[in-house]
Amino acid sequence: MSVLTVPSPWKIRDRTLTWGSRTYLMGVLNVTPDSFSDGGQFNTVERAVAQARHLVHHGTDILDIGGQSTRPGAESISRTEELERVIPVIEAIRRDDDDTLAQAIISVDTTRSSVARAAVKAGADIVNDISAGTYDNGMLSTVADLGVPIMIMHLRGTPITMQQRTDYHDLVGEIHEFLQHQIEAAIAVGVKPSKIAVDPGLGFAKTSAQSLELLRQLSRFRDLGRPLLVGPSRKSFIGWILDQPDPQQRVWGTAAACCAAIAGGADIIRVHDGAEMHDVCRVADAVWRGTY
């Protein structure tokens, strides 16, 4: 029987993320007009900063700021437009008078190396790339040069095409193989092994049934030896189960999915409803990690 290695802690700003000690919350901050559940809600600097303040004061550990919608069918925007959406928000957070907000851990949700570089220069701490470095050949080497952690996710195709690419012979095995390959690719160009997290990509080139199967089998990704990020929040598989077309009405379903993810060994949960999911994580951690 193999012994699983606990991933090395991440030291970011004045905090240490100690994997296995508790579940960390990543709060979604989409500064877009067209994201699937909150498009247009936070697409001004003032509203984005207000939401960021709400999240960090209600238990969110990482703010995940993205300017490009990745919902199924989303069109790609220009690099300039993405920069114009993301960078002012990061800069505004960093200069805010609220010390808790100004010192928040920030990840930038992007597939472009140039945006990642500009975001880190502006104050971001982590790169969250849904393409795992496959959309931009310079991403992994850029992250290595910047010396920041990267979160790599599994998908197939693009947001426009991904839901036509859900034919797997071995769902978990193929995703595991892809993530292992991208971990090795990142390390090969100089990314420190301890600075890589993995995400199986619920809902990205996955049917609803496949997303549920991934939740059931999350523990199979533990042997990758990396922090495990899971993003179930408000996703279509929850709407499918609940017959709920409105993503903002999927909070209770998200809570159940978060519990399943934590039971399966998730280290980070990416959510929209920070305060509610903070309570969920505290109870789930008490049950499965014995932390209370």
Tokens of 161: 């095409």
Q: Is 28 helix (H, G, I), strand (E, B) or coil?
A: strand
CA distances to 9, 199, 230, 287 from 6, rounded to whole Å, are: 9, 16, 17, 19
Task: Give, for 270, the enclosing helix (H) or strand (E).
Answer: strand 268-271
**Residues taking part in catalysis:** 235, 270
Query: Residue 272: helix, strand or coil by DSSP?
Result: coil
Q: Count of CB atoms within 10 A of residue 181's CB?
A: 12
DSSP 103: T
Contact present, 99 and 181 (Cβ < 8 Å): no
Residue 26: CB atoms within 10 Å: 27
Rounded distance between C-alpha atoms, residue 71 and residue 49, angstroms: 22
What is the full DSSP assignment across 159-172? TTTGGG----SSHH
